[in-house]
Amino acid sequence: MFPYNDDIQACVKTLNDGGLILYPTDTVWGIGCDATNEEAVKKVFELKKRVDTKAMIVLVNNEHAILDYVQVEGLQVFDYIKGIHKPTTVIYQKAKNLATNLLAADGSVAIRICKDKFCQALIETFGRPIVSTSANISGYPTPLCFNDISLDITEGVNYVVKFRQDETEMQQPSSVVKWEADGTLVIIRH
C-alpha cells in the first residue's frame, strides 16, 4: 500500500471523466489530462490561457508505450533514453493515437518516460498517456514547488493531488531534445 493510493484512484476517475488534475511529476508540478481526449486537452489550453498551437508534453511509463504513440524509424533512440539520468523529454516525428490538438503543427509530439514512482503508478493504473504541462498561466514563470502554484490553477483543475504538496525542494523542468527522422539528435533545452 502506497501513501498515494487514494490520489491515484481520484486522478484516474477524474481523467476518465475528461477532467484536469494537478500533480507532481519527476520535474515540476503539472497540469494533466488524458492525452487521447481532445476535449480534455482543450480544457488545459483554456486553463493556461495558452494558444493551442503550442504543443504540450505527454508522459508515458515505459519505452514500449512510445511505440503506441509515434512511428519510430530507428530504435537507437531507446539506447539514448536508457543512457540518460536527468528527466528528458524527446520530440518525435509522426505522432499517432493521441489527441490531435496536442500535437505540434508538423505532427510531432514531445514524450517523456516518467520515472517518478507516483507518475509510474498513475499512468499504469490509468492505462493511457497523460498530458504534463507546467502548472502556470502561459507567460508566467514555471512554479518550482507546490506553494508557488497560483490559485487560478489550483481552483481551475478538477483534482489536486495531496501527495508531495509539502515538499519545498525546488524542481526544474526537463531537458528537451528532438529526435530527427534521420536519427540525429538536436538539443532544445538543457
pLDDT digits (tens, 9 = 90+) for 36-85: 999 999 999 999 998 777 779 999 999 889 999 998 766 677 777 777 88
Instruction: Give 19-22 contacts, CB < 8 A, sequence gap 24+.
Output: 19/43, 19/157, 19/158, 19/159, 20/44, 20/47, 20/156, 20/157, 20/158, 20/159, 21/157, 21/158, 21/159, 21/160, 21/161, 22/135, 22/149, 22/153, 22/154, 22/157, 22/159, 22/160, 22/161
pLDDT tens-digit series, residues 93-127: 899 999 999 999 999 999 999 989 999 999 999 99
Task: Give the ranges where the chain is alpha helix by DSSP (H).
Answer: 5-16, 38-48, 63-69, 76-83, 117-126, 151-154
The count of domains in the chain is 1
CATH of the domain at 40: 3.90.870.10
State which residues form the domain around 132.
Answer: 5-189
